[in-house]
Amino acid sequence: MLEQAGIDFSVRPPDFDEDAVKAAGLDGESLALRLAEGKASSILVGQDDWVIGSDSTLTVDGTRYSKPRTREDAATHLRIFSGRTMLLSSAVALANQRQVGWSHGETAVLEVRRLSEEFIQSYLDREWPEVGYCVGVFRMEGRGVTLFDRVEGSHFTILGMPLLPLLGALRERGIIEP
């Protein structure tokens, strides 16, 4: 998303213990915010540089789901999601000198249609292993869109990061052109 928006960036892995934050029992959006802030503030960069951290969480019927580890995990998740509503929360944070200067979270509501076993297997035949990197076992920019009857929320939030608020924050700080 950043590349498509014309943002110059480099990628660095965070030095951050996600498991400790996940154990805190936060709701989806609060957890996504805490994870994004933790990732962004864990990377030390130059005084004039900013770090972007982001994360997403998925909750269905009060249960939080992680990325599937195997294709069978993915099929199990899709069976559980069938006919239910997903709450997909994504957050982004900006940090400088390990201090969070801005953060923002959003939640999208995605109503999953009833999925037959035949559909689930056919879908995974086409989309696995790529959807294994996605918390909801879908890529909205691909066949994942066929999982849903209705979607409410920002397209970018569903893709994994509230991009438009981030672009506004980058403009406000003079990091990108106004």
What's the alpha-carbon Rg for the chain, to the nearest Å? 17
Q: Which of these is catalytic: 27, 48, 55, 73?
A: 55
- What is the b/e burial string over 131-155, where b = at least 16 CB atoms within 10 angstroms of the residue's CB? bbebbbbbbbeeebeebbeebebbe
Does the annotation mark 55 as catalytic? yes
Of 135, 41, 47, the closest CA to residue 92 belongs to 41
Enzyme catalytic residues = 55
